[in-house]
Amino acid sequence: MAMSKDSYQYNRKTFEDAECPILCSTCLGSNPYIRMQKDKFGASCKICERPFTCFRWMPGKGARYKRTEVCQTCAKLKNVCQTCLLDLEYGLPVQVRDHALAIQDQMPRDGANRDFFIQNADRALANTDGTVPYGQLAEIKDAGSNELLKKLARSQPYYNRNLPHICSFFVKGECRRGEECPYRHEKPSDPDDPLSQQNMKDRYYGHKDPVAEKLLTRAQAFPKLTPPTDETVTTLYLGNLGRGVIEEGDIRNNFYQFGEIRTIHMVRGKDNACAFIQFTTREAAERAAEKTFQNLNINGRKIRVRWGTPKGETTTYNHGNRPLDPVPNIGSLPVPELRTGTSKRHGGDLPEPPPQPKHLIVPEVGPSTSMNSRSTNQIYYPSQDPQRLGAKGDVIE
């Protein structure tokens, strides 16, 4: 005998019902007045395959309709968006976040083990307010201070991710809808590009995600600040301080956490300024350089951090009345030996002058004459000779 839907509750007790989705700022869109369509038990989760309440909306003008793809339980387990499956705090793939925080994925992927794991997680999350992370993420207290995640994370939402897909008929040259076509009329990227082969389960579990691998490859190419070999160097150089924007107290407030500061010397120029900060120990200087390199902002300015090189023995040379600054990292150069002899040429020191051209008469410069007076000097160059090429004419005397 068939049982009605209302009376048979065994399979429906694991269905998920929600009033609001869990979304990131990019998927939600820039329009604060969006209208969502709610479909109760309208789709199955792409991870745990349980029916859940699906939401559908348009993020903004010119965007495509988006919908939730996973249930809220699976989204809370990884702290990801229900649509794009990216981390809610940094907007990065799960694989990048787990690599930076050294998190090992222990979630079963299929079968009864997965259902049992999600059932226990659902019970544990039911005893909380729904805003706390679950699993290994809950054990990490200082996840927000990870330097790698700060460098790779976006500072603003990337709304181009909500654009419509490329029209396949336009690529074939057969689209007849023109401006009414809801898809983009653009040429696709390289079909062999690994970014075109993305999978939701790979993104969720953090396994062989092409976007994550691209970001990790970029992270390996980041420049690094190598400490000098001289262990006595404990000074850091701070550039791009601006004129009158950052004072000594601002620098001290940002660097006192790394160790005891010995001196802070500021050099103010016409349009900009720099500073040299010296620590009492080498460990404090290395800690400050590691934490602040390409990651230091004071009063809204990005500060350039470098190691301070020791000042060598240099000499300031003068050219006339204008002093010349010595070349950095170059010691004092020896003074060349000057030969006093002028009548005799020393062997190989000075080159011989070029031979005098033939048919060239070097004139003797006499007193200046009037500009209108006709010159009576001899021929200066062979081209002035009227009989040089066989022509007949009067020779200028």
Last residue of a domain, one of 162, 185, 205: 162
What token pair was written down for 113? 């083990």
Domain boundary among 256, 288, 307: 307
Number of Cβ within a 10 Å radius of residue 108: 12
Which residue range(s) make up the domain with 113?
Answer: 13-162
Q: How many CA atoms lie within 13 A of 115 on its CB side?
A: 7
Residue found by looking up tokens 């120029």 in the block:
269
Which CATH number do you get for residue 242?
Answer: 3.30.70.330
> Is the domain of 152 the same as that of 248?
no
Residue by residue, pLDDT tens for the chain (397 residues) are 444 555 444 456 678 888 999 999 999 998 888 899 999 989 999 999 899 999 999 998 889 999 999 999 999 999 999 999 999 989 999 999 999 988 888 888 888 898 898 888 888 888 887 777 787 887 777 766 787 888 888 888 999 999 999 999 999 999 999 889 999 999 887 767 777 778 899 999 988 888 999 999 888 888 888 888 888 899 999 998 888 888 899 999 999 999 999 999 989 888 888 999 999 999 999 999 988 888 888 888 889 999 987 665 333 334 444 555 555 555 566 656 655 554 444 545 556 666 665 555 555 545 554 444 444 455 566 777 777 776 665 555 5
Q: Indicate the pTM of the whole model.
A: 0.62
Residue 266 lies in a domain: yes
Structural domain contains residue 378 = no
Which residue, among 85, 101, 91, 97, has the nearest Cα to 47 in the 3D structure?
85
Contacts 24+ apart (CB under 8 A), 84-91: 84/24, 84/26, 84/27, 84/161, 85/200, 85/203, 85/204, 86/24, 88/22, 88/24, 89/143, 89/144, 90/149, 90/152, 90/153, 91/24, 91/26, 91/153, 91/154, 91/157, 91/158
Q: State whether 21 and 154 are in the same domain.
A: yes
Angle formed by the axes of helices 282-292 and 248-255, nearest 10°? 100
Q: Is residue 25 part of a domain?
A: yes
Q: Is residue 249 part of a domain?
A: yes
> Is residue 203 situated within a structural domain?
no
Please tell me the total count of domains within the chain: 2
Rounded to an integer, what is the distance from CA 386 to the centroid of its chain?
73
Based on the domain organization, do 40 and 135 belong to the same domain? yes
65 within some domain: yes
What is the phi/psi pair of residue 113, to 5°?
-65, -40
Do 29 and 111 lie in a common domain? Answer: yes
State which of 307, 327, 360 marks the end of a domain. Answer: 307
Same domain (yes/no): 122, 258: no
91 touches 84 (CB < 8 A): no
In a domain, 38, yes or no: yes
